[in-house]
Amino acid sequence: MAYINQYNSRLDALNFKNMFGNDFFLTWEKSYDEILATYTVADALRWLRENNISTKIFDSGLGISLFRDNSTRTRFSFGSACNLLGLEVQDLDEGKSQIAHGETVRETANMVSFMADVIGIRDDMYIGKGNTYMREVAASVRDGFNDGNLEQCPTLVNLQCDIDHPTQSMADMNHIIHHFGGIDKLKGKKVAMTWAYSPSYGKPLSVPQGVIGLMTRFGMEVSLAHPEGYEVMPEVEAVARKNALLSGGKFTKTNSMAEAFKDADIVYPKSWAPFAAMEKRTNLYGNNDFDGIKALEKELLAQNANHKDWECTEKLMQSTRDGKALYLHCLPADISGVSCKEGEVAASVFDRYRLPLYKQASHKPYIIAAMIFLSKVKCPQETLARLAERNNPRFFG
């Protein structure tokens, strides 16, 4: 109980009341206090589970998951988060629903939500589509609740869209906080968010955008590096510049991977598709121009191949601060000589960081659970205290 009081004391100093009853779309829509509250609750839930204390705040209810793109870590993290809080997960398989027969977003959202407390959506493939769709689903279920059709209003959690990947960047950031020993240790730390070569095309922009949109809020020096032509959304760059100014950090851009890595404390080499190309692909799909899509894919693969030297190598890692930068990746990484002939990272670098990478990924279920918790629980401090006092074992062994 005394340990939980430490988390509650941190929450007492924060203003996060607007998270109650609200959704989680983009990190930069949340206040700094709300971001810190999410980390605090995530750590509290993790402490309770690690000490064999049940964290179930629901006796029943559904978490609806809709993945319009392939996923391993995020899919299982969402399922784990729902289970941690006492919810059962039900996948919405659009291929087996009436969506193909013209069922509207409003109708689908209401029909799957009669006993749903949270809806998690991953829709990251098409610029201008994913986040817009999520907001339409959220508005539909809120209307359903206000109209008396739904007994509760499900919380919408963005599990990755075309703009941001908040559960990933939040998990990455919590890993950084723990690695360096606290938020107060981060000011001035250099983060290299760099493009890296991949033999595939069309990887979403939401990971690099999520990183620069969040990590600039902590007084760190964030460097976005990519070859010419691999720009991200200009509006997200504007968010990063604003955040850096407010936090006393820096946001810079470079076309040199070596420059970004030099003296970096944290490196995040990750492939993504150019913003302009993603816009073009969205338009081609909208026009059912499949020949155009094939031509674009061929063009982008050739463009990628011009930058095979953008690889996270041992030499680049040695140029980081004391040669010991924290290597991050959302996984799966394109590992040279392992998962592909040439890729984002040298096998020796990846192998050295394998365990820290797994630790990085382990924060995501708790981050998602905290997002749900803060939306559903009016007084988190009271609920955390009750969970600790109740002391129900999670496992009878």
Question: 3-class secondary structure for 185-247?
Answer: HCCCCEEEEECCCCCCCCCCCHHHHHHHHHHHHHCCEEEEECCCCCCCCHHHHHHHHHHHHHH
At 103, is the pLDDT very low, low, confident or very high (cuts 50, 70, 90)?
confident
Q: Considering the domain boundaries, does residue 74 fall inside one?
A: yes
- Domain of residue 75, CATH code: 3.40.50.1370
**CB count, 10 Å around CB of 224?**
24
Residue 259: C-alpha distances to residues 83, 194, 252, 310, 323 (Å): 44, 10, 11, 12, 14
Dump pLDDT digits (tens) for 110-136.
999 999 999 999 999 899 999 999 999
Which backbone phi and psi does 196 adopt, to 5 degrees? -140, 155
Q: Considering the domain boundaries, does residue 397 fall inside one?
A: no
Whole-model pTM over 0.95: yes
Shared domain for 198 and 80, answered yes or no, is no
* Residue range of the domain that includes 257: 168-359
- Number of domains within the chain: 2
Residue indicated by tokens 């509006």: 235
149 and 109 Cβ atoms separated by less than 8 Å:
no
pLDDT at 109: 95
281 and 129 Cβ atoms separated by less than 8 Å:
no
Q: Considering the domain boundaries, does residue 45 fall inside one?
A: yes
Give the C-alpha separation, 52 to 304, whole Å. Answer: 48
Which backbone phi and psi does 21 adopt, to 5 degrees? 80, 10
Dump pLDDT digits (tens) for 137-174.
999 999 999 999 999 999 999 999 999 999 999 999 99
pLDDT at 202: 80
Residue 172: both structure tokens together: 């990455």
* pLDDT, greater one: 372 or 99: 372
Give the C-alpha separation, 352 to 323, whole Å. Answer: 13
Residue indicated by tokens 């087996």: 96
Give the orientation angle of helix 32-50 with respect to helix 166-180, to 10 degrees: 70
Shared domain for 16 and 143, answered yes or no, is yes
**CB count, 10 Å around CB of 18?**
12
Shared domain for 78 and 37, answered yes or no, is yes
pLDDT at 207: 98
Give the C-alpha separation, 394 to 84, whole Å. Answer: 10
